[in-house]
Structure 1
C-alpha cells in the first residue's frame, strides 16, 4: 500500500537527470530535494515558520526531462505523488539506513515566483498519446 502525498516547498538543490535501465529500456528519472515548510499565522498579517521536513523526490519519463530543464535550486513547487520507504546498509559503518522518498506524479511551479513563461507549440496527436503513456 502506498501513501499519497501532496505538499508545497522549495527545491534545495539543482535537479539531477539520469537514465536508468528498466527492463529492456532506458528511462529518464529526475531527482531533487524539497524542503516542505510549515507555517502558521503570526497574528500580525504574516506567517511564522514552525518547522518542516526534507524529502528526496523522483519523477520519471517526459516529466523528468521537463523538470530537469525548468526547475532550479530555490524554486517554489507543489509536488504530488506517493511516499515510499527505502532501506539499505551503510557501506562504511554497516548500519541499517532508512529514507522516505516521494515518487512524484506531478510537479508544479508556484506562480508567485515566475517572471516569464513561453509556451511550446501545440503537440500533435501522436505526441499527446506518447506523453499520456509516460
Structure 2
C-alpha cells in the first residue's frame, strides 16, 4: 500500500549512501535521509509551536545519489515529494515490526538556515 506524500522538514542526520549490485548493469544507488516533518503552528507572539511532527526515513533512488550525498546536510530544510510505503520487518528478537518510509521522487532544498550556496560545473561524462 502506498499513498502520495508531500512534506516539509529538516534532515536530522548525515545522509547515508549505498550501492546495490544490479547484474551486469550499473549498480542501483540509494541515498537515505532521516527527516523530521514538523507541523509549525504560529503563536500570537510571532513564534511557532510544533504540533504533531514525526520522523521518517526518506529513500531517494537515483544514479546521481553518490554526488548528492555531499549536497544534503544535517539540519537542512527540505521539501519531499513521493509516496509513503509500509515496511514490514522482524527485529533481533523475531518480533514483527511495521514502519513507514517515504520513497522520494524529488527532494528540494529550501533556503532556510543556509549561509551560502556554491554551484560548480557538472563533470564531463566518464569523469
Q: When the two structures are superposed, what TM-score results if normalisation uses the length of structure 2?
A: 0.85
1:36-94 deviation digits (Å, cap 9, x = unpaired): 0112111222211213001001101135234312111111111111110110122x211
Aligned to 1:85: 86
1:69-122 deviation digits (Å, cap 9, x = unpaired): 2111111111111110110122x2111011100001111111122222233447
Cα distance in 2, alignment partners of residues 74 and 35 from structure 1: 10
Over 3 Å counting, the alpha-carbon distance change for 1:89 and 1:22 in structure 2 is same
- Is the contact between residue 76 and residue 112 of structure 2 (CA under 8 Å) also seen in structure 1? no
- CA apart distance, 1:24: 4.5
Aligned to 1:15: 15
Cα distance in 1, alignment partners of residues 64 and 58 from structure 2: 13
**1:48-59 matches, cutoff 5 A:** 48-59=49-60
- CA apart distance, 1:2: 2.6
- Equivalences, count: 124
- The alignment partner of 1:65 has SS state of helix
Which piece of structure 1 moves more, 37-46 or 102-111? Answer: 37-46
**1:31-110 matches, cutoff 5 A:** 31-90=32-91, 92-110=92-110
More helix by share: 1
Which stretches in structure 2 are left out of the alignment for 5+ residues? none
1:112-134 deviation digits (Å, cap 9, x = unpaired): 2222223344799xx7xxxxxxx
Cα distance in 1, alignment partners of residues 116 and 73 from structure 2: 15
